[in-house]
Amino acid sequence: MAITVGMISLGCAKNQVDGEMLLAALEEGGFQVVGDPALADIAIVNTCGFIESAKKESIEEILELARLKAEGAVKKLVVTGCLAERYREEIHKELPEVDCVLGIGANGDVCARLREMLAKGFVESFPDKSKMPLCGARRLSTPSFSAYLKIAEGCDNRCSYCAIPLIRGGYRSRPMESIEEEARALAAAGAKELVLIAQDTSRYGIDLYGAYSLAGLLARLCKIDGVRWLRVLYCYPDSITDELLDVMAREEKVVPYLDIPLQHASGRILQAMNRRGDRQSLAALMGKVRERVPGVVLRTTLIAGFPGETEEDFTELAEFVRDVRFDRMGCFAYSQEEGTPAALLPGQVDGEEKERRARLLNEAQLAIMEEKGLSFIGQTLEVLVEGFDRYAECWFGRSYMDAPDVDGKVFFSAKGRRPAPGSFIPVQIEDCIDGDLYGSWAAPELDAGGVPR
């Protein structure tokens, strides 16, 4: 009987893709993958180690599975991912219940390492980060009609608050041919939406081709039959090219949605973050994107309470949010991460004050989203159907304005019909509540002969 393996994957979509590749490798190696790690012989926690809250979540999951192991429900406990890579020396010392600790460079050897653990006992392996596979077979954890497509690994930006370069290493783009091959396979398996991800997608290709190449990659992916939506996340503001905006405006498959994590608007704070720009230049960039890409949805993330952030800096950031009126936004309290330059900066802001500032910005953004959402009442939006909410007793999905996992939903009644998950249907919007849109499946327009257009 095959040894069963189950995984909990935490953190970002990039780590989720890594987990999908690990599961596929284990399946190909003769292990039997099960959905619930609590029912598996080997339980794997694919951890996140980016910020303090993510680390706590990872440790809580490890401890819960360790409890199940002590009760005999799980035989072996494995820790992989960012927390394992970042705290390689501390994991086994602080969590002796763990039987195997694998850094990200060991992802390509996961079957061998697990067999070694079963034969010999505790195993740890931390090959060079560059040995982490950039591509490979995946066991998708997303619905078949929507999939993430990772186009690069690592980061070269060296923002002073961020531990990603310490954990993931330098920026490595995948060749276009490799990405296109995977995209065709995903489309053939039913994916209608592909979400392009990397730590910095707009930097794609600079290491391989000597120029920013995201626009060219998107143009190639647009030619793939079956793909309806191409969505781009995590664009660094400095590398958003005119060519990228032209492709977004020209190509129907590239949804007019751009995620640009700006982090702040105060030039002084951005400089301390080792980022470029200021309120004026970033506002000008947002205006340029909106001018070049009609109907574009702008999403950003911000950090409140960065070391040295004064009330004046925070006020400038709040005014920036009010003036730019992002379509989607998330603000997070600064997390002081050991090993990063910002952790040693003077003027660390009190924890409660950081949370207060983040909460104020998120509340202001919710009001903006509510106002924008109400403006869609009476309009009809194309919605990718995701499923049925039996508690709300209605269907739900996403419009082009909503990325999976991070944005809101469109809830709708189907008037007795049953839309298939993965289908695109027209929904007439009737209300907006807490940023989510509500409506009903619109009757199709008929031509003169009574045939749907």
Q: Which domains does the chain have, with CATH numbers?
A: 4-131 (3.40.50.12160), 146-373 (3.80.30.20), 380-441 (2.40.50.140)
Looking at residues 141-161, what average pLDDT do you find? 94
Token pair in block for residue 137: 């077979």
Q: Which amino acid is at 245?
A: L
Selection from 223, 197, 199, 2 nearest residue 82 by Cα: 199
What pLDDT score does 99 carry? Answer: 93
Q: How far is CA 205 from CA 174, 214, 228, 313, 379, in A?
A: 8, 7, 24, 35, 39
Secondary-structure breakdown of the chain: helix, strand, coil percentages, each rounded to the nearest 5: 40, 25, 40
Neighbours of 174 (CB within 10 A): 21
Task: Give residue 448's pLDDT band: very low, low, confident or very high (50, 70, 90).
Answer: very low
What pLDDT score does 452 carry? Answer: 43
**Exposure letters 243-279 (e unless 16+ CB within 10 A, then b):** bbbebbeebebbbbbbbbbbbbbbbebbebbebebbb
Percent of the chain exceeding pLDDT 70 equals 98
d(Cα 80, Cα 179) in Å, to the nearest integer?
25
Residue with tokens 């923002």: 159
Neighbours of 239 (CB within 10 A): 16
Half-sphere exposure for 1 (CA within 13 Å, toward CB) = 4
Residue 292 three-state SS = helix
Residue 13 scores a pLDDT above 50: yes
- Per-residue pLDDT of 325-352, as tens digits, reads 999 999 999 999 988 999 999 999 999 9
Selection from 423, 353, 277, 338 nearest residue 87 by Cα: 338
What pLDDT score does 95 carry? Answer: 87
d(Cα 354, Cα 53) in Å, to the nearest integer?
14
Q: At what angle do helices 279-292 and 311-324 cross, to 10 degrees?
A: 10
**Which of 10-19, 98-107, 260-269, 432-441 has the largest mean confidence?**
260-269
Q: Where are the alpha helices (DSSP H) in 337-399?
A: 351-374
- Beta strands 32-33 and 436-441: pairing type? unpaired
Half-sphere exposure for 397 (CA within 13 Å, toward CB) = 28
Half-sphere exposure for 425 (CA within 13 Å, toward CB) = 28
- Per-residue pLDDT of 186-206, as tens digits, reads 999 999 999 999 999 999 999
**Which of 91-95, 131-135, 211-215 has the largest mean confidence?**
211-215
Neighbours of 364 (CB within 10 A): 15
14: which DSSP letter? Answer: H
What pLDDT score does 205 carry? Answer: 96
Averaged pLDDT score across all residues of the chain: 93
Handedness of CA 256, 257, 260, 263 (dihedral sign): positive
61 touches 10 (CB < 8 A): yes
Looking at residues 398-427, what average pLDDT do you find? 93
Looking at residues 125-148, what average pLDDT do you find? 92
Token pair in block for residue 354: 């950081």
Residue 157 scores a pLDDT above 70: yes
Task: Give residue 451's pLDDT band: very low, low, confident or very high (50, 70, 90).
Answer: very low
Looking at residues 373-382, what average pLDDT do you find? 95
Looking at residues 430-440, what average pLDDT do you find? 93
d(Cα 112, Cα 93) in Å, to the nearest integer?
23
**How much is the pTM?**
0.93
What pLDDT score does 444 carry? Answer: 62
Selection from 166, 171, 213 nearest residue 49 by Cα: 166
Task: Give residue 258's pLDDT band: very low, low, confident or very high (50, 70, 90).
Answer: very high
